[in-house]
Amino acid sequence: MIEERYGLAIMRVRGIEEEETTGTKFRDYFRQAARFLMLIDETKSRIEDGSFADAEPAELSEWNMRLYEDILPGHYEESYGNPSYAAKMLGAEYGPLLAALYAELRGAIAWAYEQKIEYLDILFELFIEIYNQFEEEEEPDIRQIKDIIYWYASDYCDVFVADRIREQIDPAKDFAADIILNSDLRDLRYLYRFGEYISENEIRTAKHLLCQTEETIAKMAEVYTEGYRMGFVNTGKDLSKKGTVNIRYVLGFERVIKKAVENFQDMGLRPVIYRSGVSMLTKRQHQKVGYYGAIANKQYEYDHRNDQALFLDKKFVERKLEVIQTTYEHYKEEAGKFAGPACIEMFGEEPFVPVPKEEALKLSKKQQELSVFFDNRQSQITNEYIRGDERSFTIIAYPVPEIGEQYEEIFDEIVRINTLDAKVYEEVQQTLIDALDQGEYVHVAGMNGNRTDLTIRLFPLKCPEKETAFENCTADVNIPVGEVFTSPVLAGTNGVLHVSKVYLNELQYKDLEFTFANGMIADYNCGNFSRELENKEYIRDHILHSHPTLPLGEFAIGTNTYAYVAAKKYEIEDKMPILIAEKMGPHFAVGDTCYSWSEDVKVYNPNGKEIAAKDNEVSALRREDVSRAYYQCHTDITIPYEEIGKIAVVTREGKEIPLLLKGRFVLPGTEILNEPLKNADK
């Protein structure tokens, strides 16, 4: 039946290019969209008949370009995927809506490569239904068009959302795993089998990894998988009860992933490798969760981050939550075996500064509240089936070729950073912790234009001989090595946090500033835009995630001066991922603590002391009302060493113990951390 419906849809779409039944204003839009859908059908056919299998690399590259060229920089300015252009050509009322439809249709690329005929049929029929409205009236009632998209989202929620959950926990959904494990990775044509945009970054990354010895590849995979295993060991969680691990990465790294899969299988874990979301029903704004290739145009992704505004209401949220609950219940055995994500992040692309567009769809205040409610309730449901106190994770990062001409040298440097001797750092970091555990609070002050002046209240230890407030991070789940961190007490945590420039989730912030009152954000601003309202909206959307405020969920001191100097040497400070950047100075996280959903799991430092500071006053509310305890976000903000005037511990007796002064470690026993910094001073 699906094949028959799809065949009829193709016939109808094919005729649109020659028809003149819509008003002239909309005719070009529908013709271009129809041409794209015909290209999708041709792609599907070539995959089915195997003609892509023997195609030359140049042909595959050209075809890949055809699929994505419409939204690439240089073309995007006159693309109907661009809300500004769509509004200009189709009108302020229809333009943003039809641009969102255009973006949704582009998700068909993934479905063509995965041969999901039902998904293709659903999208094609959605397009035809809307096209029919413009045939009947030159300018149909906009509410009719919105209703069609609303019911598309509601009716097919149990297809797209349910399948999305199953992809995340069921290893039988092995589209990507099959490519990775069964392709000849020396033949780079395999990259085009995923259906993602392939740029020079992915090709050069794969080529560079092919030049590495088996020993190097094994070492890179081992750091990644062993860090994952140690995450379970260090928190006393039973890995033997688990059966699957989610691998997230950017294409080009398949040689390491293939070896990592072998390592995970030795632990009894099968891989779950799912694509980053491509539908407005399953995406989370512009963020990428899963595997993906190059991002064809970050401005395009940013412009469509709130397309769910077309259908997000209370009824839809209830419908989606019902589908999530029902799906998890149906696959609760698979969910119970899920061990958590293992992520390889890539960094080094040109930093992205988005351009806000009035024409892009936006969530209303009510929709923002619904979005927050949905995220909260979804997390609760997920935790029922994939318990936070039974799962773990690991994250590691490597550069892409776009980072610069010294890519190969930088890559090798990052490999060294990711494999530093954790034992050396463990001892030095314990010295820091011993001083911090004496404190009532920590005072952090900036210099060289940094306006930070912040007091962080520390958890009071009841039994210092057996307890500690800070975790000694030794490169297990969070690679590379190099930080001590805690969950601050909110009451008494006050002051200003400022950083001159920082990149968070690939977005740039200039002069980012937060004011804290009793540990909660009381005010915020940045200098990205000329209008203060735009600056506040930018922060609220991407750091506060529509919450009116957030707590200070983490305070940490990064100790990886080796990484800091490397970033300085290659002038890539602005391209370092937060995973490494947070080890390059003190950092502060707004949102949930590092222990969210697993506060009651006992965690110990290598010296045997139990970490007592896992809760704060907000997360403790889970005992009364779990919906008030979590925010489903955690954003790290690092102050570089050259902007730190002082970090000092103040004891209950009022004694001040300096840890850093003028960007250098001064606590006896930590001076070794300054050795790499001497090179930066030259």
Full 3-state SS string of 200-267: HHHHHHHHHHHCCCHHHHHHHHHHHHHHHHHHHHHCCCCHHHCCEEEEECECCCHHHHHHHHHHHHHC
pLDDT digits (tens, 9 = 90+) for 297-319: 999 999 999 999 999 999 999 99
Instruction: State whether residue 252 is helix, strand or coil.
Output: coil
Please state, in angstroms and rounded to a whole number, the distance separating the CA atoms of residues 192 and 51.
Answer: 13
Q: What is the pLDDT of residue 680?
A: 62
Query: Count of CB atoms within 10 A of residue 568's CB?
Result: 18
Please state, in angstroms and rounded to a whole number, the distance separating the CA atoms of residues 146 and 144.
Answer: 5
Instruction: State whether residue 39 is helix, strand or coil.
Output: helix
Please state, in angstroms and rounded to a whole number, the distance separating the CA atoms of residues 342 and 259.
Answer: 14
Residues of the chain with pLDDT under 50: none
Give the Cα-Cα-Cα angle 402, 403, 405 (nearest 5 degrees). 85
Question: Locate tokens 């590259």: which residue?
Answer: 61
Q: What is the pLDDT of residue 579?
A: 84
Full 3-state SS string of 519-556: CEEEEEECCCCCCHHHHHHHHHHHCCCCCCCCEEEEEE
Please state, in angstroms and rounded to a whole number, the distance separating the CA atoms of residues 598 and 236.
Answer: 12
**What contacts 658, CB < 8 A, 6 or more positions away?**
646, 647, 648, 666, 667
Please state, in angstroms and rounded to a whole number, the distance separating the CA atoms of residues 161 and 327.
Answer: 9
- Whether 459 and 489 have beta carbons less than 8 Å apart is answered as yes
For 131-169, b where at least 16 C-beta lie within 10 A, e where not — what string?
Answer: bebbeeeeebeeeebeebbbebbbebbeebbbbbbbbbb
Please state, in angstroms and rounded to a whole number, the distance separating the CA atoms of residues 480 and 332.
Answer: 34
Q: What is the pLDDT of residue 552?
A: 98
pLDDT digits (tens, 9 = 90+) for 616-646: 999 999 999 998 999 989 999 999 999 999 9
Q: H helices within 392-467, ranges in order?
A: 407-418, 422-436
**How large is the greatest C-alpha to C-alpha distance in the chain, in angstroms?**
84
CA 176 to chain centre: 19
Q: What is the pLDDT of residue 682?
A: 53
Q: What is the pLDDT of residue 427?
A: 94
Please state, in angstroms and rounded to a whole number, the distance separating the CA atoms of residues 86 and 95.
Answer: 4
